[in-house]
Amino acid sequence: MEVSRIRALRGPNLWTRHTAVEAMATCDAGEVDLSQHPDFENRLRNLFPGVGNLQPTDHKVKLSMAHALEAATLHLQIEAGCPVTFSRTTATTDHGLFQVAVEYTEEQVGIMAIKLAHELCLAALNNTSFDVDAAIHQLRELDEDIRLGPSTASIVNAAIARGIPFRRLTEGSLVQLGWGSKQRRIQAAEIDSTSAIAESIAQDKELTKKLLHAAGVPVPLGRPAISPEDAWAAAQEIGLPVVVKPRDGNQGKGISVNVTTEEGVKAAYLAARACREEVLVERFLPGSDYRLLVVGNKLVAAARREPPLVIGNGKNTVRELVDIVNADPRRGEGHATSLTKIRFDDIAIARLKEQGFEANSVPAKGARVILRNNANLSTGGTATDVTDDVHPEVALRAIAAAQMVGLDICGVDVVCESVLRPLEEQSGGVVEVNAAPGLRMHLSPSFGKGRDVGEAVMATMFPDGGDGRIPVIAVTGTNGKTTTVRLTSHLLRANGLRVGMTNTDGVYVNGRQTDSGDCSGPRSGRNVLAHPDVDAAVLETARGGMLREGLAFDRCQVAVVTNIGMGDHLGLNYISTVEDLAVLKRVIVQNVAASGTAVLNATDPIVAAMANNCPGQVTFFGLDSHHPVIATHRAQGKRVLFVEDDQIVAMQGHHSVRIPLSEIPVTRSGAIGFQIENAMASIGAAWAVGVPWQTICKGLATFVSDSNAVPGRFNVFDYKGATVIADYGHNPDAIKALVQAVTNLPAQRRSVVISGAGDRRDEDIREQTRLIGEAFDDVVLYQDACQRGRVDGEVLKLLRQGLDGAKRTTHIDEIHGEFLAIDRAMERLQKGDLCLILIDQVDEALAHITQRVNSAALAG
């Protein structure tokens, strides 16, 4: 078995709403049917007992090596601690080639899992060894390295619970919550409204102390020291015992507390100096170490922290006791677990010496042996939740400290005998204020109840219960996508919204182009949703991007499917039939929000059937008011759009709005049927997001289908009294719609300039010119710049074949080069003629046509 083309599907996709890794698995004759290897499954289970069920869901399908790969990939991740459940294997039209899709929570872990699963399956097939424990350990280590830390994860999980979308912007802890103009950002436990100045103040312990003292918050006395000797002098001035710490720092690094001797003070100075240049010496406050968490203007959690310590049993040495404590499964390295292992290093040994112990000393039963001077969890300390015990006055001092520094999320370190009494009554005080505090001790304290601090952060960032979402309108189909996207965007902008738009021409934000080229994929969509000046997003959603990466969003407010028809690009990426294409295109319908709407073409049976897959409401549109789908939907009082008496009628129940086609320029007073459908699709989308009807009508009246508004989409030019139409139509359905449109326009003689895209099927290329041959007198065939895998002249030959027996065509030219073909056709035009030019290089061809039209106008 060979595994190739491993892709990460980063959004809802063809297989699942979850993120998934997809791979192509090629199996030889013996691997397609594992019944030919009766010992394979037993060998696989001996190597990996947790592999799960190998049998396909469809019992008619034979068990293949690809199914084993699927199961192994899923269960390796599960054994590594990843919460994944979905997997699927599907045979392609190529014998022995399978598509394998398996859910992942971390992309790199998913990709590594499928590679390790491949090695595992080959080992089982060849009866060789495979260290599954090492593989699981490797996956677990990678997962812990790259997944969000507990603080950030708690905030993200609270966002997910609220339905707020999130996107990780870096491999670290910078995360976007929400979309567009409603987005917020966090980094670890710090939110975007926290100023850099506030963070800088919090890092400066001496400045923080001065500000808190000015605000009436109790703080310990102290001053900076510039040498070990000066530190000892400061300690004598202040009075022993003292705390020695870096002037700015975090996670308890370099801090020594309750230091009572000259030797200890000098050693503590050197330890602090190793972390930062400036060192503070402060009066030691007796009592316990508490961390109070302030979010916004509220105290949301509090914990009493204990330094890393062991309790003597009269039998084991200190080193052995540390090993016993570290064996607790809750303790790990770093922040991935609820507790961190106690470090047995030089600092620990020095602290032991202060207590009269060595590493191999055996403490008496019940003796507390402290391994660190600070109580940070990151150095092995423990935490006990005391949130419900905090005296209101203590809470007020913590809130005052956070607000004086300017931190939205603040960890206030307090030392006092008890938080049950005001600090002033017990000589307690605030010893430190922390930006981006660790939340782990409050989420999973060593003792006591965990607190939902993530939700407290959400309540501060999204105070009105908002979900951070802007309206997202996704548009897909075979034809009409770009025009529908542009017209829908125009209607939303007419309503005063700043619109982000993606299509095959580029990315646009509030009318300004920010990217060019084919931008109908998820990367461009994510860029729009990350832009802070976007109030609504209208995203063309092409098949290629969905296959490569999935959708750019988890769900949309509106999904528009213009049509499927005979399809396009069939035969590529194993989308071989119209039914396959429909399954892919309906992904956006399946991911409509429950409060959202699918706008569907009622006259296309495959599109109409997608209504059954929509979690929200459905609006049907179609030219025929009596179409059964529209008539039924209308009778049920649901939203429909149809044409009656040369008007587009929007109806829901007894309420209706009528818009004359003569007031919708894009339809040329109703002469262009496919533009009427595009207009109805756009109206349905705008209606779904609450754009007022007066605004919709105004927007329709001001949208013109020229080369600036919708380049390459039925752009009409007047050339020496003849009509020239430029369009990017490139499949049979598009050609059929264009033929119907130009037939409704008056003309003495009709000509067409056409090529064919080499990545279409032979029959699709021939069908285009077969349709052309029924409606045009002159045909100019051209070979474009990119043959897309075809040999020279092959496309022209197929186009010629389609014209065999043409009913109307009497003259055919073959030209090499798009612009030469355009010139040939335009040179022949007489007053009253009509020429349809099917362009390939949209911008360049339109510029060429425009230049000829302008030159003719000047000459005339």
Spell out the domains of the chain, with CATH numbers in brackets: 2-146 (no CATH), 198-461 (3.30.470.20), 472-701 (3.40.1190.10), 715-859 (3.90.190.20)
Find the range with the poorest average confidence among 354-358, 392-396, 781-785. 781-785
Mean pLDDT of 486-497: 97
Q: Give the tokens for residue 175.
A: 């995360």
Q: From the DSSP assignment, how many helices (H) and strands (E) are in the chain?
A: 29, 38
Amino acid of residue 742:
V
Q: Are 599 and 616 in contact (CB under 8 A)?
A: no
CA distance linking residue 436 with residue 189, whole number of Å: 4
Burial of 720 (0-12, 13-18, 19+ CB in 10 A): middle
Q: Say how far residue 166 (Cα) sits from the centre of its chain.
A: 7
pLDDT band at 334 (very low <50, low <70, confident <90, very high): low
Could you give the 3-state DSSP secondary structure of residue 116?
Answer: helix
Question: What average pLDDT does range 660-673 have in this prediction?
Answer: 94
- Strands (DSSP E) found in 47-141: 87-91, 97-103
Task: Decide: residue 745, CB within 10 A, 0-12 exposed, 13-18 middle, 19+ buried.
Answer: middle
State the number of CA atoms in the 13 A half-sphere of 648 facing the CB: 31
Q: What's the pLDDT at 788?
A: 63
Predicted confidence (pLDDT) per residue in 276-286, tens digit: 888 999 999 98
pLDDT of residue 196: 95
Predicted model pTM = 0.86
Element (H, E) at 716: strand 715-719
pLDDT at position 28 over 60: yes
At 393 the pLDDT is 97
Q: Tens digit of pLDDT for each residue in 213-254?
A: 999 999 998 899 999 999 999 999 999 999 998 987 665 678
Closest C-alpha among 18, 187, 4 to residue 107? 18
Which neighbouring-strand residues pair with 185? Answer: 176
Calpha distance 693→683 (Å, rounded): 9
Q: Span 783-788, mean pLDDT? A: 68
Contact 236, 222 (CB under 8 A): no
| H helix intervals, 609-726 | 628-635, 673-688, 693-701
What is the SS3 assignment for 106?
coil
421: pLDDT strictly greater than 70: yes
Tokens at 448, concatenated: 């006591």
Instruction: Note whether 298 and 306 are within 8 A (CB).
Output: no
User: What is the strand order of the sheet 288-295 is part of?
Assistant: 382-385, 298-306, 288-295, 409-416, 429-435
Q: Which residue type does 135 have? A: A
Q: How far apart are CA 578 and CA 567, in angstroms?
A: 6
- Contact of 838 with 729, CB cutoff 8 Å: yes
Q: How confident is the model at residue 858, as a pLDDT?
A: 87
Separation of alpha carbons 457 and 444, rounded Å: 17
Judge whether residue 512 has pLDDT over 60: yes
Residues in the chain: 860
What is the average pLDDT across 734-763?
87
**One-letter identity of residue 206:** E
pLDDT at 571: 55
Which contiguous run of DSSP H or E holds residue 315?
A: none
**Nearest 5°: CA angle at 518, between 714 and 780?**
45
Whole-angstrom CA distances from 137 to 78, 104, 108, 118, 724 are 12, 17, 15, 17, 67
810-to-315, 482, 805, 835 alpha-carbon distances in Å = 106, 34, 10, 15
Reply yes or no: is the peptide bond before residue 241 cis, omega within 30 of 0.
yes
Q: Which two tokens stand for residue 158?
A: 């609270």
Instruction: Please calculate the CA angle 202-204-205 and round it to the nearest 5 degrees.
Output: 90
What pLDDT, on the 0 to 100 scale, is given for residue 157?
96
DSSP letter at 90?
E
Point out the least confidently predicted range of 418-422, 638-642, 668-672: 668-672
For residue 758, give Cα distances in angstroms to 732, 762, 792, 803, 841.
Answer: 14, 9, 10, 18, 14
The residue-averaged pLDDT of 507-525 equals: 94
Percent of the chain with pLDDT over 90: 73
List, for residues 98-146, the tens digit of each pLDDT value. Answer: 999 999 999 999 999 999 999 999 999 999 999 999 999 999 999 999 9
* Low-confidence winner among 194-208, 541-555, 792-806 (lowest mean pLDDT): 792-806
E strand residue ranges, 10-81: 20-26
The pLDDT tens digits of the residues spanning 149-161 come to: 999 999 999 999 9
Cβ atoms of residues 856 and 713 within 8 Å: no
Return d(Cα 88, Cα 242) in angstroms, integer. Answer: 63
Alpha-carbon span 769 to 755, nearest angstrom: 9
Distance CA 776, CA 769 (A): 10
Spatial strand order in the sheet of 20-26: 2-9, 20-26, 97-103, 87-91
Q: Is the CA virtual torsion 729, 730, 734, 736 positive or negative?
A: positive
Rounded CA separation 162/151 (Å): 17
Q: In what order do the strands lie in the sheet with 722-727?
A: 715-719, 722-727, 834-838, 750-754, 778-783, 811-816
Averaged pLDDT, 466-472: 97
Residue 674 has pLDDT above 70, yes or no: yes
Pick from 602, 589, 583, 563: nearest CA to 480: 563
Average pLDDT over the chain reads 92
Q: How far apart are CA 67 and CA 86, in angstroms?
A: 13
pLDDT above 80: residue 566: no
For residues 600 and 619, the answer to whether their CB atoms sit within 8 Å is yes
- In which band, very low, low, confident or very high, does the pLDDT at 465 lie, cut at 50, 70 and 90? confident
**Distance in angstroms (rounded) separating the CA atoms of residues 619 and 494:** 22
**Residue 569 clears pLDDT 60, i.e. is over it:** no
Q: Per-residue pLDDT averaged across 64-70, rounded?
A: 96
How far is 309 from 351, CA to CA, in rounded Å?
11
**Tokens, residue 631:** 């008539």
List CB contacts of 657: < 8 A, sequence separation 6 or more: 649, 650, 651, 693
Sheet holding 556-561, edge to edge: 512-516, 506-509, 499-503, 536-540, 472-476, 556-561, 592-601, 617-624, 640-644, 647-652, 655-660
Instruction: Locate 406 and state its tokens.
Output: 């300017």
pLDDT at 114: 98
The percent of residues above 70 in pLDDT, for the chain, comes to 97
